[in-house]
Amino acid sequence: MNLISPSILSCDYSRMGEEFEDMKKCGADWLHIDVMDGHFVPNITLGAPIVKCMRKCSDLVFDVHLMISDPIKYAPDFVKAGADIITFHIESDCDTAETVKLIKSSGCKAGIAVKPGTPAEAVFPYLGDIDMVLVMTVEPGFGGQSFMEDMMEKVTAVRKECERLSLDTDIQVDGGISLKTVEKAAKAGANVFVAGSAIFGADDRKAMITSLRELASRA
């Protein structure tokens, strides 16, 4: 199933409740919530207390992407705040297997993200234990960057390994996803598409989400 997860990094933070409701009406499947600590990536966004407030505004799936150095320490806070899926980076300072175990034991789905410079094979040992792999198609830290098409080889490698293991793991792509790139990502093997400015900046958000999903389905 192809899923669209609008990145709230591009929403109007002064109207978050309205923005989230609009995303639901426009057909979004999830809401992608980027958490940055200013250390793992050169930007700072928000923490668990804000996600807790967000949870009051929407019943959509909260797809929380932890771009932080110490996810095993902070993941429980995001579970309590209302996250449904918690994805953390394999390049973080924590033990990957232990972090996955903690997230799963807390009742959340767990995902592992990889930066552009990290090979696909890095996630292979964990595929049997996780629900999603996030392949970054830009360098993490800021929205509005250009899509890195060479990351599609990595998406394909992860998909082929999941198929070899008979796993239906979700593969998410994040960065530069638009009407021009979503079909390429889907053909490579992705099925969850994070888009920020392409959706929130569209004149017709519903039409944009519908078009992204339709283009992905053509692949």
Residues identified as active-site: 34, 174
**E-state strands within the chain:** 3-6, 30-36, 61-67, 85-89, 109-114, 132-136, 170-174, 192-195
Task: Name the residue among 154, 161, 167, 217 with its Cα closest to residue 191.
Answer: 217
Q: At what angle do helices 96-105 and 71-81 cross, to 10 degrees?
A: 20
For residues 198 and 178, the answer to whether their CB atoms sit within 8 Å is: yes
Give the pair of three-digit tokens for residue 95.
Answer: 């033990």
* Contacts for 108 with CB less than 8 Å, ≥ 6 apart: 75, 79, 83, 84, 85, 86
